[in-house]
Amino acid sequence: MNKGYLTLVLHAHLPYVRHPEFEEFMEERWLFEAMTETYIPLLRSFESLENDGIPFRITMSITPPLMEMLEAKDLQEKYIRHLEKLIELSKKEVGRTRSEHPTKHKMARYYLKDFEETLVYFRDRVQSRLLEGFKHFQDNGFLEIITCNATHGFLPLMNRYPQAVKAQISQGVKTYEKYLGRKPSGIWLAECGYVKGVEKPLAEEGISFFFVDSHGLWYAENPPRYGVYRPVMTESGVFAFGRDPESSEQVWSGDIGYPGDFRYREFYRDVGFDREADYIAPYIDRSGARVNTGIKYHRVTGKNVELGKKDYYDVEEAHRVAYDHAQDFIGKKSAQVEALYDQFAGVQPIVVAPFDAELFGHWWFEGPKFIENLFRCMNETEILKPITPKAFIDDSLTSVQITTPADSTWGANGYNEVWINGSNDWIYPHLDEMAERMTRLANDFYDETDPVKIRALQQAMRELLLAQSSDWAFIMSTGTTVAYAVNRTKQHIVRFNELFEALYKGQIDEKCLEHYEWIDGIFSDPDYRLYAVR
């Protein structure tokens, strides 16, 4: 008997990093690594499930910046060159490891085969358009793709400017429609950042649901009867689903989470750092900075084992472990919904398990295989069934509690401190002033007909949206590639202000404008009038 549901939500996002002015750019590797290790492996797992007739249901946000990058021709071409270099390196590794260790040699051959198959899948199977691959599974009813606000802007810290919030949400919906040909049913609010009132522009855009972290429902104005295990409806008619804390702990806890198993691949040991400089130089950053190649020969081994003492990794053994862990997870979820079903007197709970998509494959190499096995195991039980949020609302929701969630995020400690602290608080006076100035531009040039001025207004909007990306504040807070995040933020601020001044002076430098459109060309048709107060 079906006693409850599981909703697996994967949040696929990367900041908009596209540098057409360079043949190679180190931070573009973020996208290439995610494509190789997460997005394509997920699509291949979905394909395996579809071919075997397994009725999987999964929800996935693909953010507007990621959609824009996946559809960029120059990035597609760069990615093919990236894969070709990995194949070249893998061939060298096959020869080199033959005399080093049999398990290393086995893995070198595995990587060569995997990179070659990845290239064939990307270039030939989906004609370099991964979005078409995901769209296939949405069209066939297995995948529910939802949107995100335009540039993953952190809405709780721009709530003083309703027009800025509206623009972030509206552009996110518009980009989704452009690439997927339909309206999104739901949205992933960047950083799971909810603040009271944000549901109103969601309702205006026809959004049916969003997600909050657990405490967003625990501390709601009227705490819901079923906690995080049934959605609530806001006063605007938009549903809020709460995250299940148990699922997060089981998968991603630093102490008990599955990825820490000693048989899984060690992320931090890579030939990009292990091999001598002259040998690896053609396959790392042109500056000589060491980077991950994705060729890794070692396993976790143990929590306290030094990197240099890690044992060799065997992918076949790891895949067997991934199946065992999928069985364990489904067993625990089945027991959880049985207990909740009894506690709720026969009302079916929904367990919402959201994760960053890049956890599966990039950070946890075996993650896509875990997801595939998860649905295979779920197919063998009647107690727990997979479902998407829209299907749950349409088919299984007979009554609902109306309440307002508490302000919340899924960041460290649950609120805003990751995105506003001593390392990054300097950006917000600039972002606030830019939002105010953008509103002034939209009001003053609302009926503008001059094509050059319209282009400048659209580019000013792009620069504001790009500056608002939560990724830059996050990077400053966590201390990774800080210089790049600071530089990107400052560049967008400067470019916006240049355009602002030029518009009011009536002295637009078209060559400069064209350059900004080229290097910051996210969104083909942004509507700057969204910022107007009417």
Distance CA 246, CA 223 (A): 19
Residues 198-219 as b/e (b if ≥16 CB within 10 A, e otherwise) read bbbbbeebebbbbbbbbbbbbe
8-state DSSP, 302? -
Residue 420 CA to chain centroid, in angstroms? 21
Catalytic residue among 88, 205, 324, 356: 356
Query: Which of 316, 236, 194, 247 is CA-nearest to residue 9?
Result: 247
- Answer yes or no: 356 catalytic: yes
Query: What stretch of H or E contains 215?
Result: helix 214-218
Cα angle 130, 464, 507 (rounded to 5 degrees) comes to 120
Q: Which two tokens stand for residue 164?
A: 């800025």
Backbone angles phi, psi at 136, to 5 degrees: -55, -45
Backbone angles phi, psi at 518, to 5 degrees: -75, -45
- SS3 call for 335: helix
Cβ pair 350, 229 in contact under 8 A: yes
Residues 37-55 as b/e (b if ≥16 CB within 10 A, e otherwise) read bbbbbbbbbbbbbeeeebe
DSSP-derived secondary structure for 187-217:
EE-GGG-B-TTTHHHHHHTT--EEEE-HHHH
Catalytic residue among 191, 244, 372, 498: 191
Query: What stretch of H or E contains 144?
Result: strand 143-148
Roughly how many angstroms between the first and final C-alpha of the chain, as a whole number?
A: 54
Distance CA 204, CA 469 (A): 23
- SS3 call for 338: helix
Strands 401-402 vs 232-233: parallel, antiparallel or unpaired: parallel
Q: Which residues are catalytic?
A: 191, 356
